[in-house]
Amino acid sequence: MKKVQILGTGCPKCKALYENAKKAVEESSIEAEVEKVDDIKEIVKFNVLSIPGIVIDGEVKSTGKVLSPEEISNILRS
C-alpha cells in the first residue's frame, strides 16, 4: 500500500490538494493511505520551500501547486 502525504498548514490550496489526492486514490483503485501533514516541524523535515506539497512513499513529488486528481493518479501509477 502506498502512503500519500499532503504537506500543508490548512490553507485552501492545501485542502484542495488533499481532496484531489483522496479522489485520485478512490478513482484509480490504487491501494493508498492519504494523510494530512499540518505540523510545520514535520513539513520542514521534507525540505520543501513552498506548500502545498505531495509526498508519496517518502519522496516529494510536487510542491507549491494543486495537482488535479488525474495528475496525482499518474504519479501513483509511475
Which domains are seen in the chain, by residue range?
2-77 (3.40.30.10)
Catalytic residue among 4, 6, 7, 14: 14
Catalytic residue at 9?
no
Catalytic residue among 11, 27, 33, 44: 11
Catalytic residue at 11?
yes
Check residue 78 and give its pLDDT.
86
CA distance 58 to 16: 21
Please list the ranges in the chain whose pLDDT falls under 50: none
CA distance 69 to 67: 7
The residues with which 37 forms a beta bridge, in sequence order, are 7
**Comparing C-alpha atoms, which of 6, 3, 24 is closest to residue 15?**
6
CA distance 69 to 76: 10
45, 5 contact by CB (below 8 A): no
Residue 78 DSSP SS3:
coil
